[in-house]
Amino acid sequence: MGTRNRGVMDENELRALLGRAVAYEPGLGPLVDNAVRAGTRIRRRRRVLGAVGCVAVIAVVGGMVPVLGHALAGRPEPTTAHTVRPSPSGLGPSLAPDRQPSPSASRTHGPVSRSAPPAVVPSTSASGSGAGASILAVDSYGSIFTVNSATHSAGKPVGINGTVVTSVVSPDGKTMYALVDTDEIVPISTTTHRIGRSIPVPSATAIVRMTVSPSGRFIYLSDYPDHQVLAVDVARRTVAATISTGLSPDQIAFSPSGTTGYVADTNAASVTVFSTVTQRVLRTIKVGQDPVAIATSPSGTVYTVNEFSGTVTPIDTSANVAGRAIRAGDRPQAIVFTPSGTMAYVTNYWSSTVTPIDLASGRALPALRTGSRPSALVITPSGSTVYVLDNDPASVTPIDTLTETAEPSVRVLGAGSEAGQIAVTPDGSTVLVSIGSQLVPISTATNRAGAPIRLSAPCCEQMMAP
């Protein structure tokens, strides 16, 4: 946490003051809520512009299951957001329809002052080399360096010209794409760390998120302020199409076949459905208010997490229609699914709970108490445990998915500290939490935090698995 300037009110104090004002004069409620929402959007834009710390951490050797919730959008407070699920298919000019592997974990983006962006989209691990994961870290100055979680060491930086706005890993895990403020996408080999030929794009600083299609053929850029998504043809190195969306597009999920994309329009309470073959809009689906996360379950249903409605909306991808909304807690942020596709778990930021959802019946089960202000969450590859990232102070709450019970929280740093992102290694042995300029490992066997891995710069707003 940075040092506060004397005389400057922090966000929690401001919110408390506004709360007292509304209690005194209820009529101020709608005005205050709109002001708070506008403020969170501004914070998101600043985060996206690289104003703070590390833009991304990408697992490249040992691989890590992504945390997604609000990873890149820089939504109000939480840090999970969209979990990007890698696809078995490789990159390249393949003309085959996009295919999306079945999801297993999701991410995605909370209310007050999140330290990390995103929605939730499951992810698979590409490789697991046993002795700890080697990851790529990207800071806001455009430097890329490796971190080995087994030896607790950081390698030499790989420089990039310009400031990184956001980044993403290709479905096959071989390439990391870094969007920089010089208006270009820079491809970087995750094995050799060599920089490839860049792809020119317009207005990079307007982009809040990059999403790679399951086939790896297209990179989709969510242009938040201009209410559109740019489809970038990777092989041809050009913007192939501009897709008009609702207000403030952010996370994107895909149908099981990969032929249809679903864009969460956060300020329009809707999802824009488009064809990944023609890049044309198919229809718009109304969902709850402020869909901050979107993800596809292993069964193929897309779910939106609607922050201000306090609900989760299922979307039938065969008919492209929304189902009955499922009630969650106060200000839900992120979602993950069990590998079997039978259960989902949603973090509720202001309720300090997680809502388990029986996906077959569409029924929410009794909420589970977690630490303060849970944002992101991940699930182990076996599906036996969900790890919830709590904030202020930073902690991790394990949830046993067999008994549906929350276990004692694991503290990762001192009081007042806020975490950024969370990830789990492919073998399920270690959970990693980014907080400030360090990564804290937690053993899933003992649920105890180990010695932190210290980095040279604040990290990380995003962690993804190739």
Higher per-residue confidence, 151 vs 88: 151
In the chain, where the domains are located: 9-40, 53-464
The DSSP H or E segment spanning 304 is: strand 302-306
Asked if residue 429 has pLDDT above 70, the reply is yes
Q: Which residue has tokens 């401001």?
A: 14
Which structure tokens are listed for 166?
């956001």
Q: Which is nearest to 69 in space by CA: 277, 424, 333?
A: 333
Among the listed ranges 47-51, 175-179, 188-192, 297-301, which one has the minimum average pLDDT value? Answer: 47-51
Residue 135 pLDDT: 61
Q: Residue 129: phi, psi to the nearest 5? A: -100, 20
Q: What is the pLDDT of residues 148-186, one digit of tens each?
A: 656 666 677 777 787 888 888 898 888 999 998 899 999
DSSP state string for 421-466: EEEE-TTSSEEEEEETTEEEEEETTTTEE---EE-SS---S-EE--
Q: Which long-range contacts (CB under 8 A, 24 or more apart) does 358-363 make?
A: 359/297, 359/299, 359/301, 362/314, 362/323, 362/324, 362/326, 363/326
Question: Percent of the chain, pLDDT > 90?
Answer: 48
Give tens-digit pLDDT for 259-289: 999 999 999 999 999 999 999 999 999 999 9
Tell me the backbone φ, ψ of residue 102, rounded to 5 degrees.
-70, 135
> Could you give the 3-state DSSP secondary structure of residue 27?
helix
pLDDT recorded at residue 18: 55
Kindly report the pTM of this predicted structure: 0.75
Task: Choose from 27-41, 48-62, 84-98 the range with maximum mean pLDDT.
Answer: 27-41
pLDDT score recorded for residue 184 = 95
> Hey, is 32 helix, strand or coil?
helix
Q: Please check whether residue 121 is in contact with residue 84, taking contact to mean a CB–CB distance below 8 angstroms.
A: yes
CATH number of 53-464: 2.130.10.10
Closest CA to 90 of 196, 193, 179, 169: 169
Residue among 185, 173, 268 nearest 220 (CA): 185
Predicted pLDDT of residue 56: 40
Q: Give the tens place of pLDDT for each residue, 46-63.
A: 333 332 233 344 444 444
- Flag the least confident range among 25-29, 40-44, 67-71, 411-415: 67-71
